[in-house]
Amino acid sequence: MASTALPWLRPSFRLLLSWLILHGVLAGAAPTPGAIGTHEDDFLSLPIAHGALALAKRARKQFKEFPSHYEGRIDKGRFLLSLFGLSEEQAKIENEDRDVASPWQDPKAVEQWGWTRTLKRPPFYDYEDDAPESVLDLVPGFGFSLNKAFNDPAHEIDGDDNVLSSYKHNGPFKLPNGDAGRSTNAMYNNVLNPKAGAVIFDRNFSPRYKTTIKKVQGDVPELEILSDIIYFQWLEVCAQEDVSPDKINVIFRAHVTYAPTFQLVMRTLKEKGLESIPGWRDKVVFPMNTDQGLAILGSVHGAGAALFLIQHKERFGLKKITEVTVWGDYNEPGLENDPEEAFLNLRFTVTDA
């Protein structure tokens, strides 16, 4: 039986911590996970900060673009699906003669662009000790919400093997013109479990979110995109665990609050006759041969998982996403209109292509 993600929390503290996580109090009224600017698609529409124009243009133009409406997301999902089984050379042709590989493949870029790294293992935090400056920096943001999924016999995950990887943009770095860059205090916290082949996108606040929404006086580094950062996090933890990085079985997107993705997922559920997000027992699985599965794959959260695989074919080999599982931790009536409280989760199943 898989252990819980946070075995050290008493129920009363769990409720308090959940409330604090949801409302951002512990992080000094920090932004809600999934807010605009956190995801690749979001920051491309934001004002371009000094030193990042070239990167934004690269990210925007590297892949074919699709409309943001539901049918457009289906088309995008179908396009991403078509790239999974192709070599980099074949995928380039399918992608209108544009490379699909990320330009970020060398882990040395992490330190070069001002990211500092911390790894934490269970128990993540003992609440009876002196309170830390920020509990959110020491625990996975998903709390207990993935425990039932961790116990799924088809993809069992031992929470004791989870590793919390925290990359913060608070180190020194140089701008392309040679000037010293100003850090943004951006944070990418994700949980990796190489032994189970599990990648969990958790709490991620991009440099562009910090500079544009939170008005931090910093410089956006050229290494800024989530799918690139989590790739380096995965490589680092796999090396420590002595597990080949091509062992990827599942990718989670925990606590989806970003409104466009949340609303899209709600539409897919309504097309299945559901009016609310089901709990784990009644979870819904959408294969990638359905419009619903393709739409979720083409969403911001689905595309992030897909690009993690597509842009790193040389290291991972050919991988594909075969299905997405949808459920919520709190499936009470009325939460279908409340992304914060519903705790919507997505699990993408990965196999060799």
155-203 residue pLDDT tens: 999 999 999 999 999 999 999 999 999 999 999 999 999 999 999 999 9
Task: With beta carbons less than 8 A apart as the criterion, state whether 64 and 99 touch.
Answer: no
CA–CA separation, 40 and 33 (whole Å):
14
Residue 10 has pLDDT above 50, yes or no: no
The owner of tokens 């935090």 is 125
Residue 219 has pLDDT above 50, yes or no: yes
pLDDT digits (tens, 9 = 90+) for 95-150: 999 999 999 999 999 999 999 999 999 987 654 445 455 566 678 988 888 999 99
Tokens of 38: 């956190």
Neighbours of 108 (CB within 10 A): 8
CA 244 from centroid of its chain's CA atoms = 21
Residue 234's pLDDT is what?
99
Identify the CA nearest to 200 among candidates 308, 278, 123, 114.
308
Q: How many CA atoms lie within 13 A of 247 on its CB side?
A: 15
Residue 212 has pLDDT above 60, yes or no: yes
Residue 2's pLDDT is what?
46
Q: Phi then psi for 275, rounded to 5 degrees?
A: -105, -10
β-strands 198-205, 250-253 pairing = parallel
CA–CA separation, 219 and 207 (whole Å):
8
pLDDT digits (tens, 9 = 90+) for 233-259: 999 999 999 999 999 999 999 999 999
C-alpha distances in angstroms, 347 versus 149, 251, 325? 9, 6, 5
pLDDT digits (tens, 9 = 90+) for 24-57: 333 332 333 333 334 444 333 333 333 333 344 4
Between helix 300-310 and helix 226-241 the angle, nearest 10°, is 50
Domain boundaries, the chain: 11-352
CA 7 from centroid of its chain's CA atoms = 23
In sequence order, what E strands does 126-224 have? Answer: 163-169, 187-193, 198-205
Residue 341's pLDDT is what?
84
Task: With beta carbons less than 8 A apart as the criterion, state whether 146 and 253 touch.
Answer: no
Residue 18 has pLDDT above 80, yes or no: no
Neighbours of 275 (CB within 10 A): 9
Average pLDDT over residues 213-231: 96
Predicted TM-score (pTM) of the model is 0.83
Instruction: Give the N- to C-terminal CA distance of the chain in Å, as an integer.
Output: 29
C-alpha distances in angstroms, 33 versus 168, 181, 230, 291, 334? 15, 26, 16, 27, 21
